Structure 1
Amino acid sequence: MKKRPLIGLTLDAEPAGGWSKYPWYALRQNYTEAVTAFGGLAVALPHDPDHAEDYLDRLDGLIVTGGAFDVDPTLYGDIETHDTVALKSDRTVAELALLRGAMARNMPVLGICGGQQLLAVALGGTLHQHIPDAIPGALEHEQKTSHYEPGHKVEILVGTQLFGVTGPVMQVNTSHHQAVKSAGRGVVNAIAPDGVIEGLEDPAQKFCIGVQWHPEYLVDAGDAALYRAFLAACHD
Structure 2
Amino acid sequence: MKRPIVGIIANQYQIDNRYPTHAGGTINSSAVADVAGCMPLIIPSDPRYVTVPELMQVCDGFLLTGGRPNVHPEEYGEPETEAHGAFDRARDAITLPLVRACLERGQPFLGICRGFQEVNVALGGTLHPEIRDLPGRSNHRMPPDGTMEEQFALRHKVRFARGGVFHRLMGAEEVMTNTLHGQGILREGRGVVVDGWADDGTPEALYVEGAPGFTLSVQWHPEYNAVNDPVSRPLFSAFGDAVRAWAAGRAAPVLRSA
Q: Report the TM-score, using the length of structure 1 for normalisation.
A: 0.91
Single out whichever of 210-219 and 157-166 deviates more from structure 2. 157-166
Question: Where does residue 102 of structure 2 map in the other structure?
Answer: 102
Question: Where does residue 23 of structure 2 map in the other structure?
Answer: 26
Question: Where does residue 37 of structure 1 map in the other structure?
Answer: 34
* CA drift at 1:84: 4.4
Q: Does 1:130 align with 2:139?
A: no
- Taking structure 1 as reference, are residues 220 and 138 closer, same or farther at Cα in structure 2, changes over 3 Å only? farther
Find the residue that maps to 1:14 and give its secondary structure: strand
Matches within 5 A, 1:1-236: 3-15=2-14, 18-19=15-16, 21-38=18-35, 39-49=37-47, 51-79=51-79, 81-133=81-133, 135-144=134-143, 146-166=150-170, 167-184=172-189, 185-205=191-211, 206-217=213-224, 218=226, 220-236=229-245
* CA drift at 1:78: 1.8
Asked if 2 retains the 8 angstrom alpha-carbon contact of 1:172 and 1:220, the reply is no
- Taking structure 1 as reference, are residues 190 and 108 closer, same or farther at Cα in structure 2, changes over 3 Å only? same
Counterpart AA for 1:207: F
- Taking structure 1 as reference, are residues 138 and 97 closer, same or farther at Cα in structure 2, changes over 3 Å only? same
CA–CA distance in 2 between the matches of 1:76 and 1:139? 24
Question: Where does residue 250 of structure 2 map in the other structure?
Answer: none
* Count of residue pairs brought into register by the alignment: 232
1:141-192: CA deviations, max 9, x gaps?
0142624420111001124322221131111111111001122221001100
CA–CA distance in 2 between the matches of 1:115 and 1:173? 16
CA–CA distance in 1 between the matches of 2:103 and 2:110? 11
* CA drift at 1:20: 6.1
CA–CA distance in 2 between the matches of 1:235 and 1:162? 20
- Taking structure 1 as reference, are residues 203 and 160 closer, same or farther at Cα in structure 2, changes over 3 Å only? farther
Give the RMSD, CA atoms, in angstroms. 1.8
Q: Percent identity?
A: 34
Find the residue that maps to 1:221 and give its secondary structure: coil
Moved over 4 A (4+): none
In structure 1, the gaps of 5 or more residues are none
In structure 2, the gaps of 5 or more residues are 246-258
CA–CA distance in 1 between the matches of 2:97 and 2:83? 27
CA–CA distance in 2 between the matches of 1:225 and 1:45? 25
* CA drift at 1:82: 4.4
